[in-house]
Amino acid sequence: MDISENIRRAVRFEKPDWIPVIFHINPACWFHYPHEALQALMAEHPLLFPDYTPMDNFVPDISPVQRRNHPFTDPWGCVWTTREEGITGTVTVHPLADWQLFDAYMPPNPEISDGLLAVDWETTAQKIENQKAAGELVQASLPHGHTFLRLCDIRGYENPRSIPIVCRSLGLHPTVRYDLLVASYPPFWCHSIRR
């Protein structure tokens, strides 16, 4: 069974030959541990790191939300900070913590953003075409935290209106503004998926 068929079977719960895993060393580890030790681990575990080749002067590629002392404002207006280089931060400024800001609030443009970073849809389309032409399984994803967690990021973690399940369990009715905010989600993510 080839890797594409194995992934299909795993996704469909149809008894794959092996559980597909992509294993990597967190960027923070490269800032904390000796590179020689990490590379020795990779060399000793070819099952986890099948494409490993020794690297000189490796510098991990980190996301803007993983940079210590560099707050990052994402396209939703959420400000991310982290205390540890290479560890994904948390949102420390919520753009709609105050509903008074809603009328001026602008969600990101799905033509140019995936909700966290800029996106080049032409490059993405070309990658998909190349995968298809090579007979590979086409794979794509949404950014982590794309729905429920994003609401918490925008409204704040302790604001019960940002969490619809909590609202309903408490017998609360979300405000019209909340409904409008949630209504902006399906078009944004559906656009990303269609692209």
Give the pLDDT score at 187.
58
Last residue of one domain, picked from the residues 14, 37, 61: 61
Residue 14 lies in a domain: yes
45/105 same-domain check: no
What's the domain range around 50? 1-61
Last residue of one domain, picked from the residues 61, 88, 104: 61
109/184 same-domain check: yes
Give the mean pLDDT of the chain.
82
How many folded domains does the chain comprise?
A: 2
Q: Span 143-164, mean pLDDT?
A: 71
Give the pLDDT score at 167.
42
Non-local (6+) Cβ contacts of 122 within 8 A are none
Residue 137 lies in a domain: yes
Residue 80 lies in a domain: no
52/100 same-domain check: no
Structure tokens at 107: 């969600």
| pTM confidence score | 0.75
Task: Report which of 102, 126, 82, 115 is spatially closest to residue 174, judged by C-alpha positions.
Answer: 102
